[in-house]
Structure 1
Amino acid sequence: MRDNMDTASEELERRSKYLSSLIQKTKIKSDGVEEEKREKDGKDNHQPEQQQQQQQQKQPVRVRAADMAPALQRRAFRCAREVLASMPKLDSKRLALALKKEFDTSYGPAWHCIVGTSFGSYVTHSLGGFLYFSIDKVYILLFRTAVEPLDH
């Protein structure tokens, strides 16, 4: 019994250190390079879109922990910002569902998303499929789990 407790404790400590090593304390720049080019070229002069983009860029994204390719991270940020901008007030369920659907359709099944202003979590994820970030005071945990076929 004691051995099992020690083993579990060691595993928890190992995973905790691993997640801590993933924490990044940098702000990821918005990937609105294409929008900026269109604005400079004068090809897209829709006032509401420009205001929406400016509003989205004012909300800094802060990566709390990540084990995900930068391109996928930027896609998650863009999707989260778009959905947040379309809501008059935060609807955590709607935001989580939108991110899950976006990633399920683009990168295959088994994506999960948790959204809130205050929550705790401990999850197991597939390699390269974990992102925990915040936009303003909204925290978003997006992760992928392994899909295993059922044997009947």
Structure 2
Amino acid sequence: MREKEEKKKRVDAASEELERRSKYLSSLIERTKIKAESDQEEATKEPRKRKEKEKVKEEDRRGEAVGGEADEGEKEFMKKVRVRAADMAAALQRRAFRCAREVFDTMPKLESKRLALALKKEFDTTYGPAWHCIVGTSFGSYVTHSLGGFLYFSIDKVYILLFRTAVEPLAH
């Protein structure tokens, strides 16, 4: 009898923790949507010259080549990208979009595993271990991620979830 009570307490505690995390993620998604909307409004008000200066500064800071306008293919591709939820720096988001585009361009038809592997390897190599990627046209997920390491976006009808988890050394 006592074992059943203890088991019920553990299940209740786990349920409460799940509910708490769910509320946190919902609030995080809501804040991301509100921030994206305000950023979009602000972007339409900003003068073009200021945008160009900021773009050049950002590219310089990241160490990328500073070039002219994006080609038509890239512009078309970026129109298809929709950020659904994010807790990730804009520079990392752009890197994910760019990597996804490069892989998409090499595939005649969608290969979800190949795209997920390419994104994971790119981010593991560049930003350290423990990145995970899920790609598909229909999936559900519930994940815990490291702060600043979550991006959920779509390209046409393909949804991509990229997130980082904490890596802790094994205790021997």
Q: TM-score, normalised by structure 2?
A: 0.69
3-state SS of the aligned residue for 1:38? coil
Aligned mates of 1:73, 1:57 — CA distance in 2: 12
Higher relative contact order (CA closer than 8 Å, sequence separation 6+): 1
The CA RMSD over aligned residues, in Å, is 2.7
CA offsets, 1:58-95, max 9 Å, x none?
A: 31x22222222222112112211222233221111111
Tell me: CA distance 1:58–1:65, structure 2 relative to 1, closer, same or farther (3 Å).
closer
Tell me: CA distance 1:104–1:137, structure 2 relative to 1, closer, same or farther (3 Å).
same
CA offsets, 1:111-138, max 9 Å, x none?
A: 1111000111122222221111111111
State which of 23, 35, 56 in structure 1 corresponds to 2:77. Answer: 56
State which of 65, 68, 71 in structure 2 corresponds to 1:38. Answer: 68
| Structure that is richer in helix per residue | 2
**Further displaced range: 128-137 or 90-99:** 128-137
State which of 71, 84, 87 in structure 1 corresponds to 2:104. Answer: 84
User: Are 1:20 and 2:26 counterparts?
Assistant: yes
Q: Tell me by how many angstroms 1:37 deviates.
A: 5.3
Runs of 4+ aligned structure 1 residues displaced above 3 Å come to 24-29, 33-37
State which of 130, 139, 150 in structure 2 corresponds to 1:119. Answer: 139
Tell me: CA distance 1:108–1:89, structure 2 relative to 1, closer, same or farther (3 Å).
same
Aligned mates of 1:18, 1:7 — CA distance in 2: 17
Aligned mates of 2:67, 2:171 — CA distance in 1: 52
The number of aligned residues is: 140
Aligned mates of 1:131, 1:50 — CA distance in 2: 25
| Structure with larger Rg | 2
Q: Tell me by how many angstroms 1:141 deviates.
A: 0.8
Q: Is the 8 A contact 1:19 1:65 kept in 2?
A: no
Q: Is the 8 A contact 1:20 1:65 kept in 2?
A: no
Q: Which ranges of structure 2 fall in alignment gaps of 5 or more residues?
A: 1-6, 41-54, 57-64
Q: Tell me by how many angstroms 1:36 deviates.
A: 10
Letter in 2 for 1:53: E
Q: Which ranges of structure 1 fall in alignment gaps of 5 or more residues?
A: 40-48
